[in-house]
Amino acid sequence: MKRLKTILLIDDDDTTNYLNHRLLSRMETADEIRVVTNGEEALEYLQNAFADVEGYPRPDLIFVDIKMSVMDGFEFLEEYQKFDEADKSRTVLLMLTSSASFYDLEKLKQFPEVLKHYSKPLAEADVREIMQEHF
């Protein structure tokens, strides 16, 4: 399995972040796994990463939760769409959710950057599938 440089987890749930970070680390998926806890922090991180600011490695893969405080996943996605296409094209964006609501899954279709959604927390089979399909 190919090893990525950086994965960015965007979720306000500490337990989910812990479980996902532990799984991704154990499977040796990336040199670095960064965690931010809301959409605003994620946008700030990505602005720095896409501007090649030192200390903000550009993520190869982003997992974003739908339901978060401060700025939720959909609000984040609306802002993410404003980034330069060249920057976004080098990053795989996936949605993580504990919500199986029809409304949320339908709304996700408005965001072509989101390639797929996965249930929280990630499972080993999910990670293998993601790595095979996208890397």
Predicted confidence pLDDT, tens digits, the chain (135 residues)? 789 999 999 999 999 999 999 999 999 999 999 999 999 999 999 999 999 999 999 999 999 999 998 999 999 999 999 999 999 999 999 999 886 688 888 898 999 999 999 999 999 999 999 999 999
3-class secondary structure per residue, the chain: CCCEEEEEEECCCHHHHHHHHHHHHHCCCEEEEEEECCHHHHHHHHHHHHCCCCCCCCCCEEEEECCCCCCCHHHHHHHHCCCCHHHHHCCEEEEEECCCCHHHHHHHCCCCCEEEEEECCCCHHHHHHHHHHHC
Kindly state which CATH superfamily the domain 4-134 is placed in. Answer: Response regulator (3.40.50.2300)
Domain map (residue ranges) of the chain: 4-134
Taking the model in full, what pTM does it have? 0.95
